Amino acid sequence: MGPQPPPPSLVTASVPSFSGAATNSSFWGNISSLRSSIGRIAAELDRRREALRLCCCDGEERPDGLAFRKLSSLTIPSENEQRKLIETVIANLPQEKTSRSSMATRILFGLLRTTKILNASEECKAALEKKIGSQLEQATLDDLLIPSYSYLNETLYDVDSVERILGYFLDGFEVRSASKIEGEDENSGVRSAALMLVGKLIDGYLSEIASDANLKPEKFYKLVVALPDHARLFNDDVPHPTGCQEDGAIEN
């Protein structure tokens, strides 16, 4: 005796209600195909689940006798490895200006922050600060607001780093100005524009750091007078740090 058909309610709920042996044969054929597909999907899920378990096991032996380490130890480099990597990247940066866009300068400032976080070598930091100084006119105020990552520095921002970067810019500016020869006069306007941009940038930076109560007035003043007079349109709006008027550290 052949298989008994299911109750009429199940048949009518699953397939159109046609009568005859052909309809029953088609229905059971579809059920068999569906069961086979479900079996293949379940087998594939089991296979992938087992592969994932083998990849994530911590020091446990696999069926083939091999052992795995933690995935975290394979994918996350140590701080020393990260430090060596950043130092290698900076050592291979081109000496000339990377680009005329502010985005390239922002990337350099990002690298500088990373060197401070990873406590990279002083040579590495100096090389990067020097490169940033060569294109300081492309920087923004947000770029200059480098947090102070050292516990020895009580100020909110790393003023020493900005002071060094400005020094590198001014050194390069003086060299370029002194090397002017006949036929280069058309570039003097570009140089002056770069100096004016940096002057405006530094004045904006001074306005931001002036409210830092831990900033020593003499350090603030040193940054103020670092710029030549012709780098500013007006000198009356140069901000004063908190407490300078009382201490008499800066005289107009």
Number of domains forming the structure of the chain: 2
Give pTM, 2 decimals: 0.62
Residue 252: the pLDDT is 45
How does the average pLDDT of the chain come out, rounded?
74
Higher pLDDT among residues 51 and 236, named by residue: 51
- Is 207 within a domain? yes
Structure tokens at 170: 């001014």
Residue 244 CB neighbours (<10 A): 19
State how far the Cα of 203 lies from the Cα of 200, in Å rounded to an integer. 5
Asked if 41 and 98 sit in the same domain, the reply is: no
Mean pLDDT of 182-190: 54
CA 118-120-122 angle, to 5 degrees, is: 145
CA distance 242 to 54: 62
59 with 143, same domain: the answer is: no
Is 4 within a domain? no
Q: Is residue 54 situated within a structural domain?
A: yes
Query: Which of 38, 72, 106 lies at the terminal end of a domain, its last residue?
Result: 72
Domain match, 191 and 92 both: yes
C-alpha 78 chain-centroid distance: 18
Q: What per-residue string of b and e applies to 108-142 under the rule 16 or more CB within 10 Å gives b?
A: bbebbebbbebebeeebbebbbbbbbbbbbbbeee
Q: Are 38 and 60 in the same domain?
A: yes
Question: Domain range holding 57?
Answer: 24-72
Cβ atoms of residues 215 and 155 within 8 Å: yes
Please report whether residue 243 resides in a domain: yes
Determine the longest span between alpha carbons in the chain, in angstroms.
Answer: 113
Q: What is the pLDDT of residues 14-73, one digit of tens each?
A: 444 444 555 556 555 555 666 666 666 666 666 666 666 655 554 455 554 445 444 444
